[in-house]
Amino acid sequence: MQSLSFDESLAVLVKAALLEDIGGGDHSTLSCIPAAQRGKAVLKIKQEGVLAGVAVAEKIFRMQDPLVQFHAFKKDGDLMEPGEKAFEVTASIHTILGCERLVLNCMQRMSGIATLTRTYTRLLEGYHTRLLDTRKTTPNFRLLEKEAVRIGGGINHRFGLYDMIMLKDNHIDYAGGLEAAINKAWEYVQSKEPGLKIEVETRSMEDVARVCAMGEGKVFRIMLDNFSPETVAEAVTYIKGRFETEASGGINHQNIAAYAASGVDYVSVGGLIHQARSLDLSLKAVLLS
């Protein structure tokens, strides 16, 4: 089944989020603001970091009010400082107030993730190694969390269970071993999903040797799970470029450079998303004269 586009997925997210928040009606707004009244608001930055979610905010407002006027002062990926303005929006006041919390929640969360991601990518400057995210995301918010990683300079790993095969420890154990898992996955790809890539998790140098012995032409990437930087370097030397390599597990600010020095192609860091802290932003009304 074909996946939804970014805009289609965002529309689903926004519809569910607004239903959760507004429900049967925004009575605070309905009680005191005429339905036809239009207004202006500005997104104010209150904390330094990497800005993310401006394009998403514009899409959210336009979904609710096609006549919206949106002027961005900064773009996604820009550095931001307290006191700066991110954008200005003119629309139905009902739209501004109904979307306010959703826009702020998205942008604050996305900016926190983008900021943390940027700190990691800076530590990788000068190395061959690139930074990957994981599926350790908030249910139903993965779309924007992974977009924030991309804005921060990271690379999105598989989006879900449907766009790549990753044979992890439990798959391998349930399938009857490393070789059995790889062969079954390869047969499945040939008959069901041609072109689907297979990545395999390894837990030791012995596993690495076994994948190298029988996985060429079947496996495209070997994950080195919970290996020390020294053992990753040993594995990369052994693999000799026959497969892409990814180090995963326990990678943080303190040791990421050591992993990059091993020559591994990718490092994956789940903490990019689940350890990020939202940044402080506010949407304030601008009174029209």
Does this chain's domain 6-119+277-286 share its CATH topology with 121-274? no
Answer yes or no: are the C-beta atoms of 113 and 107 closer than 8 Å. Answer: no
> Catalytic residue numbers?
101, 136, 168, 201, 225
For 29-44, what is the mean pLDDT? 96
Residue closest to 243 by CA, chosen among 234, 233, 251, 235: 235
CATH (one of 3.30.720.110, 3.40.50.1970, 3.90.1170.20, 3.30.930.10) for 6-119+277-286? 3.90.1170.20
Side chain identity, residue 276: A
Confidence of residue 3 (pLDDT cuts 50, 70, 90): confident
| Domain residue extents for the chain | 6-119+277-286, 121-274
pLDDT per residue as tens digits for the range 171-183: 999 999 999 999 9
The CATH superfamily of 121-274 is Aldolase class I (3.20.20.70)
Instruction: Return phi, psi of residue 219, to 5°.
Output: -100, 140
pLDDT per residue as tens digits for the range 103-153: 999 999 999 999 999 999 999 999 999 999 999 999 999 999 999 999 999
Answer yes or no: are the C-beta atoms of 207 and 172 closer than 8 Å. Answer: no
For 162-167, what is the mean pLDDT? 96
User: What is the reported pLDDT for 289?
Assistant: 58
Beta strands in the chain (DSSP E): 38-45, 49-50, 69-72, 79-80, 85-92, 130-132, 165-167, 198-202, 221-225, 244-248, 266-268, 281-286
For 207-220, what is the mean pLDDT? 97
